[in-house]
Amino acid sequence: METALTPLEFARRTRRLHPRRKAVVDGDLRLTYEQFFDRCDRWSAALQGMGVAKGDRVAYIAPNTHAQLESFYAVPQLGAVLVPVNFRLTADDFAYIVGHSGAKVVCAHADQLDAVDSVRDRMPGVERFVALTGAHDGWEDYEALVAAAPREFERPDIAETDLLTINYTSGTTARPKGVMITHRNAYLNTVGTLLHLRMDVGDRYLWTLPMFHANGWTYTWTVTAAAATHVCLPAVDPARVFELIRAERVTWLCAAPTVLIMLANATAEARGAPAPGVHVVTAGASPAAATIERLEDGFGWTVTHVYGLTETAPFITVCEPRPEHEGMDARERGVLKARQGVELITSGALAVLGADGAEVPWDGATVGEIAVRGNVVMAGYYRDPDATAQVMGDGWFHTGDAAVTHPDGFVEIQDRLKDVIISGGENISSVEVEGVLLRHPAVQEAAVVGVPHERWGETPKASVVLREDADATAADLIAFARGHLAHFKAPTQVEFVAQLPKTATGKIQKFVLRGGASAVARQ
C-alpha cells in the first residue's frame, strides 16, 4: 500500500492533528493551521477556475509573506509546478524566467508590479496577472480572489516523480538555469532536515532566509511538518530580526553567512536585550569560524553548518555534533563547525573525487571535487539536456566545489574549483585566507581572489570591508595573515571597500572582483 512521497503529506498530517495551533505570523496577521490551509484550498480552487491544470507552471515574485508561503501548498496540490522567482532580480530576468518556464499565471508583490508591467509584452504566454498586494489596473487582487473562491477543488493524482518546483539559479555568469525538483526530492530533504535538525511542535521559525531560495531550503515544508510557527519577515534588518526574536519567542532561523555577519556585527542598540536559545542553520557559503564563535559565545545561539545546492533540494551534508566534540574549546569548535560535515541520512552517497574519478584519501589534505548521487538530486535542468548531461551524465552530480575529506569523514570545502588560486604551482584556498582575515578585530567581511603576478602566475588579493569605526592598513592585514598562514598564502594586495559585490542571494561575486571592478570603494 504505497502513497507518494510528497511534502503535501506533511500538510495533511498537521492539518489533521494541529488545526488550531498557530501556523503563520505576518505582521499583525495571525493564522492557525486550519485558517492557513483553508486559504490554500481557496487559492487552489481559484487557480483551477483560471484553467491551471496539472503540469502548468505558476510563477511567484514576492518576498517572505503569508501569500508567498501559501504558494508552496496551493500550487502543488493542483499538480501544478511552482516557479518561485528571486524578487531581487531585474525586469529582464523576470521576463526570461517567466518565458523560459512557460508560466501560465504570474503572482507578484506590490514592490514588483511595475517591473513586471515594464516587460509584459515579453510574457505572451501568461494568461493572468495577480497582485498579492497593491493591485491596480491590469492586475487581479489576490485577497479578493481567495475570499470569493470555494473551498473545494478537484484534486489530481500526484506521483512522487512529478515536478514540484522549478527553481532558477542565480545566473551570475550566464542565463539562469531551471532546476527541476520533484515531490520526492523535497519530501526526503525535509525528512532528513528534521532528523538532523530536530524542530518540534511549538517551535517558532523566523524567515530570515528568502522563501524563493531553494524553496527556503525546504523550510517552507519543514516548519509545517513539525507543526511549528512560520514568522514571516519580508526584509532582513538586524534591529527587526532581534525585535522579532524577542517578541515572537523565535527558536529557529536560517541564514547565509553574509546575514550571520550582519547579525554578529549589529550594534548594541540594534541587538537590544539578550535573546539566547536560537538555533541557527547556515549554508550558501563557508561560514567563518570567527563568526560562529561570536554567535555561540556572545549571543548564546547554536549554529549548525549544512551544505548543498539548489540542484540537491538542497541539503547533502550536515556538520553534525558528536560526543568527541564536547570537550572542545570555543575556537576548536568554531573551526570544526565551519566544515561542511557528513551526509544526511536521506541525501544519498557523497564522495570527494579526484581527477581520475576515484575517491580521494581521507587525509584532510588531498583535494578533489564533491560529487553526490541519491534521492535529493534534481530531475535535471528544465529544457536544457546539454547542461544536465554536463553535470550528471556519469551518474554523479558534480558540484564544482573543491574539498578534502578528514579522517573522521567530515568534508571541508577548500574553494569553488574555479576560485582556487595557483601561485608558483601551489594551490591556495581563498576560503582559508578569508577565514584568517575575518579573525582580525577590524575586519567585518573579506573576499580573496587570485590576480596576475609576473613571477608567481597569480597571487592572492583581498577585498575587505572594515567594521564600523574600526581602522587597519593593508600592511596590518598582510602582516596578520602572514602570522597565521604559510607566507605564500598571505595576500600581497588589500583593497578596502564599502561593500562586496553579491548575488541577490548574498553570495559574493568573485568573478567581479577578478575583473577588477570590485565593489563600492570605501569613502
Q: What is the pLDDT of residues 441-486, one digit of tens each?
A: 999 999 999 988 877 888 999 999 999 889 999 999 999 999 988 7
Average pLDDT over residues 196-206: 97
- Give the residue with greater pLDDT, 145 vs 504: 145
Q: Are 492 and 448 in contact (CB under 8 A)?
A: no
CATH number of 8-182: 3.40.50.980
Written as nine digits, the cell of 254 is 536560517
pLDDT band at 47 (very low <50, low <70, confident <90, very high): very high
Least confident of 171-185, 246-260, 367-381: 171-185
pLDDT tens-digit series, residues 294-328: 899 999 999 999 999 999 999 999 999 899 888 88
Residue 433 has pLDDT above 80, yes or no: yes
- Model pLDDT, residue 329: 86
Residue 264 has pLDDT above 50, yes or no: yes
Q: Give the CATH architecture of domain 420-521.
A: 2-Layer Sandwich (3.30)
Average pLDDT over residues 333-345: 91
Instruction: List alpha helices for 359-517, DSSP H.
Output: 385-392, 430-437, 474-482, 510-514
Residue 523 has pLDDT above 50, yes or no: no
Measured in degrees and rounded to the nearest 5, phi and psi for residue 83 equal: -120, 90
- Model pLDDT, residue 428: 86
- Model pLDDT, residue 469: 87
- Residue 489 has what DSSP assignment? G
- Model pLDDT, residue 9: 98
Residue 171 has pLDDT above 70, yes or no: no
Average pLDDT for the chain: 93
Average pLDDT over residues 86-103: 94
Average pLDDT over residues 56-83: 98
The C-alpha atoms of residue 242 and residue 261 are separated, in whole angstroms, by: 14
- E strands, 99-144, where? 103-108, 128-131, 140-141
Q: In what order do the strands lie in the sheet with 443-453?
A: 443-453, 457-466, 493-499, 520-521
The C-alpha atoms of residue 108 and residue 88 are separated, in whole angstroms, by: 12
pLDDT band at 217 (very low <50, low <70, confident <90, very high): very high
pTM of the entire structure? 0.86
pLDDT band at 522 (very low <50, low <70, confident <90, very high): very low
Residue 240 has pLDDT above 80, yes or no: yes
Written as nine digits, the cell of 168 is 532558477
pLDDT tens-digit series, residues 101-120: 999 999 999 999 999 999 99
Q: Going by C-beta distance under 8 Å and a sequence separation of 6 or more, which residues neighbour residue 477?
A: 437, 440, 443, 462, 464, 491, 494
- Model pLDDT, residue 275: 92
pLDDT tens-digit series, residues 12-24: 999 999 999 999 9
Q: Of 250, 260, 312, 264, which Cα lies nearest the Cα of 281? A: 260
- Model pLDDT, residue 420: 78
- Model pLDDT, residue 518: 43
Q: Are 399 and 414 in contact (CB under 8 A)?
A: no
DSSP labels for 281-330?
A: EE-SSPPPHHHHHIIIIIH--EEEEEEE-GGGSSEEEE----GGGTT--H
pLDDT tens-digit series, residues 269-296: 999 999 999 999 999 777 788 888 889 9
- Model pLDDT, residue 381: 97
- Grouping H, G, I as helix, E, B as strand and the rest as coil, residue 253 is strand
Q: Going by C-beta distance under 8 Å and a sequence separation of 6 or more, which residues neighbour residue 134?
A: 109, 110, 113
Does the fold of domain 420-521 match that of domain 236-416?
A: no
- Model pLDDT, residue 504: 65
- Give the residue with greater pLDDT, 510 vs 349: 349
- Model pLDDT, residue 174: 65
Q: Are 278 and 253 in contact (CB under 8 A)?
A: yes
Average pLDDT over residues 350-354: 97
Decide yes or no: CATH 2.20.140.10 for domain 236-416. no
- Model pLDDT, residue 288: 80
How many angstroms from the chain centroid is the CA of residue 380? 19
- Give the residue with greater pLDDT, 390 vs 172: 390
Q: Dihedral sign, CA of 259, 265, 269, 271?
A: positive
Measured in degrees and rounded to the nearest 5, phi and psi for residue 418 equal: -75, -10
- Model pLDDT, residue 506: 74
- Model pLDDT, residue 502: 84
Q: Are 368 and 352 in contact (CB under 8 A)?
A: yes
- Grouping H, G, I as helix, E, B as strand and the rest as coil, residue 183 is helix
Domain spans in the chain, listed from the N-terminal domain onward: 8-182, 236-416, 420-521
- Model pLDDT, residue 23: 98
- Model pLDDT, residue 425: 66
- Model pLDDT, residue 333: 84
Average pLDDT over residues 68-78: 98
Amino acid identity of residue 444, one-letter, is Q
Q: Going by C-beta distance under 8 Å and a sequence separation of 6 or more, which residues neighbour residue 268?
A: none
- Model pLDDT, residue 277: 96
Residue 215 has pLDDT above 60, yes or no: yes
Inter-axis angle of helices 8-17 and 33-49, nearest 10: 140
